[in-house]
Amino acid sequence: VKFPPEIYYKIFTHRHIEDLCANSPRDYTKLPAKCTSHIKSNDLQEEDYSGWYRRIENNGWRPVCETFWRPTENVIMGDKKESEFHFSKLKRRQDMEKKRKMRKIEWMQQ
């Protein structure tokens, strides 16, 4: 047991913070195809999300200690995991429901 204990904090807000990049996640700098075909086919191509915006959570748990005034890049706890982020609110809601259901199933199996 270490003394003094380490105390961590995280910043919360009363209202949501709007992520402006979530409203237009596509990479609009890519050049469009020069010639598009008007021939319709039944082969649906999967959309390429490689240049799209990916949200990274930068609000991790930070320690309160004498090294508080040092840069926090190396000190932030492992809360910086990158998550899938879809621009559609409906899709995000469905993903969240699916994640909750899976967590509940895992909890029930314990």
Q: Is the pTM of this model over 0.75?
A: no
Residue 90 has what pLDDT?
A: 92
Which DSSP category does 8 fall into? E
Residue 99 has what pLDDT?
A: 93
Residue 93 has what pLDDT?
A: 93
Residue 100 has what pLDDT?
A: 95
What residues are paired with 64 via a beta bridge?
A: 7
pLDDT 10s digits, 59-108:
778 777 765 555 556 555 555 666 777 888 999 899 999 999 999 999 99
Residue 96 has what pLDDT?
A: 92
Return the structure tokens found at 88.
Answer: 């559609």
94 vs 72: CA distance, rounded Å = 34
